[in-house]
Amino acid sequence: RRGWIEVVCGSMFSGKTEELIRRLNRAKIARQRVEIFKPALDTRYHIEDVVSHNATSIRSTPVPLAQEILLLAGGCDVVGIDEAQFFDESLVDVCVQLANHGSRVIVAGLDMDFLGKPFGPMPALMAVAEYVTKVHAVCVCCGEIASYSFRMAASEDKILLGETDAYEARCRPCFLEGMQEK
């Protein structure tokens, strides 16, 4: 069996989870064995569901460490991972091993943090993946294509779980403008 890695990346509200769910549902229709994982710290909506901002959802398994995915996903045709940016670098090796053993691995995550810097294991995952899809949100300021997640709250922590109240999708000029005003 031939395995490979697909990455779906972009800013907040860009439709990463939507796209991940779409791909996984199609694999299910093809009667493939599908498992979905997410980092245990992401508990915004449902502890065991991966939920998109437009409210589509899929059953998932929260795991505290990337290595646990190897133990739980053995023999799956398709392995989905959402919010991949919150795992540490060991996720890269986990995905490579799964693909080497014949799984199709679909990883969704933020490519940049709220400062516009590459986020966690995402850049390395994009390097080793066969396919990389960058999806885009709509800039809430001007309506152009957005690839940045602008944090409205003042916190400096890299991880600040939040929703529409904490972040907004912005294009490059509107992101820069917001950063200068801070």
Q: Is 149 in the site for ligand ADP (CB under 6 A)?
A: no
Please answer whether residues 149 and 169 qualify as being in contact, where contact means their C-beta atoms are separated by less than 8 angstroms.
yes
Q: Which is nearer to ligand ADP, 3 or 139 (CB)?
A: 139
- Tokens 């508990």, residue? 43
By CB under 6 A, residue 112 contacts ligand ADP: no
Q: Which of 86, 14, 96, 23 is nearest to 54 (CA)?
A: 14
Q: In the block, which residue shows the tokens 């090796």? A: 93
Q: Is 145 an interacting residue with respect to ligand ADP (CB under 6 A)?
A: no
Report, in Å, the least distance between residue 140 CB and ligand ADP: 5
The nearest distance, CB 111 to Mg ion, in angstroms, is 12
User: Among 24, 92, 137, 171, which residue interacts with ligand ADP (rule: CB under 6 A)?
Assistant: 137
- 121 lies in the site for ligand ADP, by CB under 6 A: no
- Site residues (CB under 5 A) for Mg ion, limited to 2-21: 16-17
CB of 152 to ligand ADP, least distance (A): 13
Known binding residue 67? Answer is no
| Torsion sign over Cα 91, 92, 97, 98 | positive
> Exposed/middle/buried for 54, CB within 10 Å: 0-12, 13-18, 19+?
exposed
- Binding of ligand ADP by 141 (CB under 6 A): no
* C-alpha Rg value of the chain to the nearest Å: 16
By CB under 5 A, residue 60 contacts Mg ion: no
Q: Is 18 a catalytic residue?
A: no
Which residue type sits at 95? C
Task: Please state, in angstroms and rounded to a whole number, the distance separating the CA atoms of residues 156 and 136.
Answer: 24
Please report, in angstroms and rounded to a whole number, the separation of the first and last CA atoms in the chain. 52
Pick 14 or 85: Cβ nearer ligand ADP = 14
Residues that bind ligand ADP (CB under 6 A): 10, 12-18, 52-54, 137-138, 140, 169
Annotated binding site: which residue ranges?
10-17, 82-85, 139, 142, 159-162, 167, 171, 174
